[in-house]
Structure 1
Amino acid sequence: MQPVTTQTLQEFNILKDVPENQLQWLIEHCEREKRDEGEFIYKPDIPLRGIHFIIQGTIEFYRLQNGNKQVIAEIGSRQVTGLLPFSRANLSLGFTMCKTDVDMLVLPKPLIKTMVELHYELTQVLVMAMITRVRELTAAAQQNEKMMALGKLAAGLAHELNNPAAAIVRGSSTLKQHLQLFPETFKKLISVTMTEEQVNLVSSKMMEAIHREKQHIGLMDRSAREDEISDWLYDHDVKDPCDIPENFTEFGIGIKDLDEFAAQIPAEYLQIVLIWINNNLTTERMVADIQEASQRISELVKSVKIFTHMDGGADKQYIDIHTGIRNTLVMMQHKLRKGNITVVEEFDETLPKVHALAGELNQVWTNLIDNSIDAMEPSGKGTITIRTERDKEFVKATVTDDGPGIPPEHLTRVFDPFFTTKEIGKGTGLGLDVVMMIIKQHHGTVKVASEPGRTEFTICFPING
């Protein structure tokens, strides 16, 4: 094994301008290690032992995401990693594995303080290396966090869009088949002879039913009304079709209306007239279902557009924060229903518009709501309460869930980059770090308080940015 000299260390790009005496001190106080390919240097939550100077070989830092290996960074020959000066990280946040055989120097953790006190230039370059490395790792992990969030939203949105889209396809196909039956009805209908008064009765009753506001009818009450209509039809020898009781009940046509028809319409025409009314009501119902499904798709698309702030630029604008929160809830509707989560909105609708980046704030609401949903997953149900209010010249928003709470020992770390209490594969530990950065960008604050059964995140930021 070739000895390590100051010339060896000067081949490190970050060490090339460090005084030779400081490099010599480094060599004298480092421990030399050789690791085999495939050997782990660190695993999650293992304490970092010191600063690693890679003489030869390559190591990779990765995390497990949904059971899959996600490489965050590769550190090759003549590079530095590990516990760098002034870093808050004391535990490994992922797996560090030798991709090849590795030869390295390790400056033990207890000696880092001594280095900082004695060797300014060496400390300075290592701090710069730490800043660059953190920036690179954070940027890569934040991109992954965004892609994860986008994937979750896309999956939920696809599910939300699928239901109304399927309803439109199903409804249009059924409507087409239904309309094909009209010729036979039409032939019978044009043979009917009625007075203008009788025609007006039929027309007015049908239009009244179509435009009547639908009322919720209980299952027992609905069943009773349908039975009454079925009995009436039987008594008046109206035998076809069988969906008349259901349609007439749906549109509010009752026994009183049927008695009026029977009193005004000749008995030989009663059946065909009722069938014609029923066919029109069926068509109306199918068109209404298609319209409702189409409207649902339109609302979802509108929510996506507002959520992603497609029409906005990169500058702050005056926005209603409730619009962003509500659109976030629409985007996350599938996950909320899947988790059996109830959302309580306690909004101060008199809040003035705030000067903010709409897209950035939507990331805040998404991360906080998503974390609350995940926290309540083990219990299979829960409640999220979102409250907004004015606090002098600030907007105050709280997101509270009734989940199990955050352990006290984790409360001070929840905003740290890469820290997560979620199981491996369910989070990168950057969601709350993103929340913190965005709110700081808006000159605001984020606080958390937690106990079993209640976890509350409080956000405050100035109305005028």
Structure 2
Amino acid sequence: MNKVTLAELRAIPALETVPDDQLQWLLNNGETRKLEAGEHLTEVNTALSYTYIIIEGRIRLCMVQNGKLREIAIIQAHSISGYLPFSRATKTPGYTECTKKTRLLSIHKDKMKEAIKLHYELTEAMVHAMTSRVRDFTSLQQQNEKMFALGKLSAGLAHELNNPASAITRGAAALQCQVKHLPELFKDVAAIDMKPEKIDSINQLLINKTTQTNRPILTMLQRADKKDEITDWLLDHHIKDLDMAENFADFDFSPADLDHLNNCTPSPKLDVVLAWMNNYLLQEKMVADIRDSSQRISELVSSVKNFTHMDRDTDKQLLDIHAGLRNTITMLNYKLRKHNIEVQENFDTSLPQVKALAGELNQVWTNLIDNAIDALENTPNSRLTIRTQKDGDFVCVYIGDNGPGIPAELQSQIFDPFFTTKEMGKGSGLGLDVVTRIIRQHNGSVKVTSEPGNTVFTVCFPINDN
């Protein structure tokens, strides 16, 4: 086998300051390995037992995230990987696969621990390699985390926008269909010989019903009873189109109102007047649906704009934290509805504005609320509680859920980078690390208390950012 040489080790940038005798120690205590393209160097969750110095070739690190296999990092020639002194990493987060013929020097971790005692410069080089790996991998994972979060929010937003957009499309098509009936209805109505005061009375009734602001909200049973009442009235007056009963019921018409219409209408033309009014009411309902759906889209777009703060500077701004919390709930509303989660808000709206980075705080609320939603999956009567209050010179936000809780032995680890209690592939373990970093940036604190049925994350930061 083409063994690794001293010159090849000396050519590696991370080892360029290590004396030759220490590099020779590596050669004496290491083993040259060759792997073909497609071979795995390590598997998922295997213990990091060796330090690998890559002489030539190319290796990729792959992980399953959100149910999909992804290439997370590339380890090029002249890199150092695997076990490194003082690193907290004990297992591989994924598997490593050679994409080219690879030759490397592997040194068992027991020997590397000896090197810490024997060779200062070599240890220093390995620690530098370890810190560089942590920095690069953390940056990469944070970017992946943001992309996954963006993907989830985008999917939810697309779902939220699709409902009102579809309603507008349906409403517009139905409205177009109703408008097509107008010429024929106009001809029938124009042929009616009706006194002006009777026309005014019918017109006023129609205006009152369509502009009524205190229209009662009926249960399904009450609505069915009202529809049956109107259907019976129509049958008693020999009206064939019984479908209009539902529409008249929706606009709170009563048999007495229909009696008034009947009294104002020449007897053979009642069906014509009712058909014309039904057409008008249908158009009114469709226009209202289109207006409400358009308003919903406008609110969603506004929430996205406020959530991302596209029109804000990157400096800290005075802001109302409740706006960010509400926008985050809006952005995650699809997921809350999907899991049938009740949201309870207990906001102290008298809280003063705080000086903060709005976009950064929204990342905090997104991570904490999204984690709570995941924890509530398959929980009966699931509930998310968000509370705010002033505590001296601090603003405190409490985000709680009634899920299964976090085991006591894990609570001290959940803020550590790459630690996650989620299933393999469902979390990178960086969400709470991001939360901690942002809150510290705002001179605040975040802590958790948890027991089965009651988990609460408490975020506190100073009002004046001092």
Which category of TM-score, normalised to the shorter sequence, fits these structures?
Answer: over 0.9
Amino acid at match of 1:216: I
The separation in 1 between residues aligned to 2:360 and 2:149, in whole angstroms, is: 13
What TM-score results when the alignment is normalised by the length of structure 2? 0.92
Give the structure 2 partner of residue 180 of structure 1: 180
Give the structure 1 partner of residue 234 of structure 2: 233
* 1:342-386 deviation per Cα after TM superposition (whole angstroms, max 9, x unaligned): 111121111111111111111111111222222222447621111
Secondary structure of 2:376's counterpart equals helix
Give the structure 2 partner of residue 435 of structure 1: 435
Give the structure 2 partner of residue 198 of structure 1: 198
Q: CA deviation at 1:205?
A: 0.8
8 Å Cα contact 1:340-1:380 kept in structure 2: no
Secondary structure of 1:421's counterpart equals coil
Q: CA deviation at 1:228?
A: 1.6
Give the structure 1 partner of residue 136 of structure 2: 136
In 2 relative to 1, CA 325–341 (structure 1 residues): closer, same or farther, beyond 3 Å? same
Secondary structure of 1:311's counterpart equals coil
The separation in 1 between residues aligned to 2:320 and 2:240, in whole angstroms, is: 55
Q: CA deviation at 1:100?
A: 4.3
Q: What pairs up with 1:265-344 in 2 under 5 angstroms?
A: 265-344=265-344
In 2 relative to 1, CA 240–175 (structure 1 residues): closer, same or farther, beyond 3 Å? farther
Q: Larger deviation: 266-275 or 388-397?
A: 266-275
Q: CA deviation at 1:211?
A: 0.7
The separation in 1 between residues aligned to 2:222 and 2:3, in whole angstroms, is: 92
In 2 relative to 1, CA 4–281 (structure 1 residues): closer, same or farther, beyond 3 Å? closer
Give the structure 2 partner of residue 91 of structure 1: 91
* 1:304-343 deviation per Cα after TM superposition (whole angstroms, max 9, x unaligned): 1111111112111111111111111111111111112111
Amino acid at match of 2:35: D
Q: What pairs up with 1:412-427 in 2 under 5 angstroms?
A: 412-427=412-427
8 Å Cα contact 1:240-1:275 kept in structure 2: no
The separation in 1 between residues aligned to 2:123 and 2:300, in whole angstroms, is: 54
* 1:374-426 deviation per Cα after TM superposition (whole angstroms, max 9, x unaligned): 22224476211111111222221122122222233432332222222222332
Secondary structure of 1:437's counterpart equals helix
The separation in 1 between residues aligned to 2:446 and 2:111, in whole angstroms, is: 36
The separation in 1 between residues aligned to 2:43 and 2:453, in whole angstroms, is: 32
* 1:419-464 deviation per Cα after TM superposition (whole angstroms, max 9, x unaligned): 2222233222222222122212222222122222222222112222
The separation in 2 between residues aligned to 1:365 and 1:428, in whole angstroms, is: 18
- Identity of matched residues, %: 49
Give the structure 1 partner of residue 223 of structure 2: 222
8 Å Cα contact 2:339-2:377 kept in structure 1: yes
Secondary structure of 2:428's counterpart equals coil
Secondary structure of 2:443's counterpart equals coil
Secondary structure of 1:298's counterpart equals helix
Q: Larger deviation: 395-404 or 192-201?
A: 192-201
Q: Larger deviation: 263-272 or 149-158?
A: 263-272
Extract unaligned runs of 5+ from structure 1.
Answer: none
Give the structure 2 partner of residue 398 of structure 1: 398
In 2 relative to 1, CA 276–101 (structure 1 residues): closer, same or farther, beyond 3 Å? closer
Give the structure 1 partner of residue 31 of structure 2: 32
The separation in 2 between residues aligned to 1:95 and 1:412, in whole angstroms, is: 28
Give the structure 2 partner of residue 382 of structure 1: 382
Q: CA deviation at 1:54?
A: 2.4
The separation in 2 between residues aligned to 1:329 and 1:228, in whole angstroms, is: 42
Amino acid at match of 1:245: A
Aligned residues: 463
Extract unaligned runs of 5+ from structure 2.
Answer: none
Amino acid at match of 2:389: E
Q: CA deviation at 1:148?
A: 1.0
Q: Larger deviation: 16-25 or 154-163?
A: 16-25
In 2 relative to 1, CA 5–266 (structure 1 residues): closer, same or farther, beyond 3 Å? closer
The separation in 2 between residues aligned to 1:164 and 1:81, in whole angstroms, is: 51
